[in-house]
Structure 1
């Protein structure tokens, strides 16, 4: 499988591992693409799982609508439902950052399509919104800045400029910043990636509790996600649930802690308890 369609949009995917294995769908966040998972897919494939990592809406060249409302959460979630329906079987769903928010939403509304959920960095949407009443609001300042039309795109034009420095300040390695420059800015994916933030005013859909086995993964060095929302996450799961805290790691867990993240995904998929905090 190299692509799938949802209505008029075509999405690129990276499909690896045994074709007869249980499927793990990997949803990237901002500002990354399917390549952010490449450090851990081999581990999942060796364990017998087939991994499907899509370039999501705004990132795939064939799926870059222009309107803000086209990036509302229901549409982002429907893309993933279309992928799962194309695959024709329930999946283990994994998401990081924005991909985590989409994974929570898909799992909450379509539990019949999901075997297990592993959410990385970003908690259940209702827990996140409640945390915005506290310290999370200050950590999410950039969400407001990204609403400005064209300004973030202009700031990102110059290599080594404001946007690149912001990525480094947020914990990205030089290689990850280079990948951001190549895959997001130079490839024209930045407006689509920002569309996820600009679509927030159109994303009023509530998110019910999740009813499938779930693991939440968070890191103590995450500058973007406050602990309060993470700790409240279990209140929104009506199924076996674990919180795994990675000490000292920053926000970019799939690319910087691939072995640890792969281990958590496998433990959840196989139903093996971890040691939550």
Structure 2
């Protein structure tokens, strides 16, 4: 029986981990997005456990209380990816399955491109390959869908708008979240260091080099997009295959919003059942 973990460390930071499922099962690393944490996997993880899989759901940089540096440069994609590398090297027992949603998908794409030796399969939910996203910003309506990314570059105001006013709750509800999910995630964001850390993922975007974002992915990849996603349009979703040279599957979930793991866990589990084999 593999020893359970509740945290791991990297460069003086401590990250919380929810380790569940069969201890001897193949490892699936679960990477959440904004403004959520590892609880966003609570509906999917038990289905994976029933398949004999062990899940490591991480509270990532800015979300774990012991991993909230102040500098926005500390949230560069290279640092976020290195955090997951540390987890896999310390506790993953070899190449692992990686599933990421939203910002967690961006980290998963980058991890698979830079360290394919650590990734058995990649599953990206909602967010396309970074190069496909950048291309869509220049050639489609994606720029308008991503307006909030520019707003999040401002100091102080976004923290207040997301956590201390009704704007954040209205935005999440309009995106497809349930009231219970929105209240859960926004309650955590009332902690100043956490909302600052979460927003710093966006504020570090200017420090990501285009070359690093364009690296192709060679590992077996499943990309799942949903057609009711108000933040991510079809242009980047459809062009993502250009940046995957390994086995690639693209699935569209009809009638599902951005919040795939919680809104459609059974449909996602069925796709993962085939992909992770």
Q: Distance in 1 between matches of 2:193 and 2:18?
A: 19
> 1:3-22 to 2 correspondence within 5 Å?
3-22=7-26
Match of 1:140 among 141, 146, 165: 146
Helix, strand or coil at the partner of 2:213: coil
Q: Do 1:108 and 1:207's aligned partners in 2 also have CA atoms closer than 8 Å?
A: no
Listed as ranges, the gaps of 5+ residues in structure 1 are 271-277
**Does structure 1 retain, via aligned residues, the 8 Å contact 2:214–2:243?**
no
Deviation per residue, 1:190-220 (Å, 9 max, x gap): 1111010001111113331101110100011
Q: CA deviation at 1:266?
A: 2.1
For 1:156, which of 146, 157, 162 is the aligned residue?
A: 162
**Alignment RMSD (CA, Å):** 1.2
Q: Does 1:85 align with 2:89?
A: yes
Task: Please say if 1:180 is aligned against 2:185.
Answer: yes
TM-score normalised to the size of structure 1?
0.94
Question: Is the 1:27–1:56 contact (alpha carbons within 8 Å) kept by the matching residues of 2?
Answer: yes
Write the distance in 2 (CA, Å) between the matches of 1:206 and 1:173.
33
Partners of 1:177 and 1:265 in 2: how far apart? 26
- Give the gaps of 5 or more residues in structure 2: none
Alignment partner, residue 75 of structure 2? 71
Counting matched residue pairs gives: 269
1:238 aligns with 2:242: no
Q: 8 Å contact 1:122–1:225 — kept in the other structure?
A: yes
**Within-5 A mapping of 1:98-247:** 98-133=103-138, 134-158=140-164, 161-186=166-191, 188-204=193-209, 205-247=212-254
User: Residue 53 of structure 1 aligns to a residue in which SS?
Assistant: strand
Q: CA deviation at 1:169?
A: 1.5
Instruction: Give the conservation status (yes or no) of the 8 Å contact 1:18–1:45.
Output: yes
Q: Which runs of 4+ in 1 moved over 6 A?
A: none
1:114 Cα deviation from its structure 2 partner: 0.5
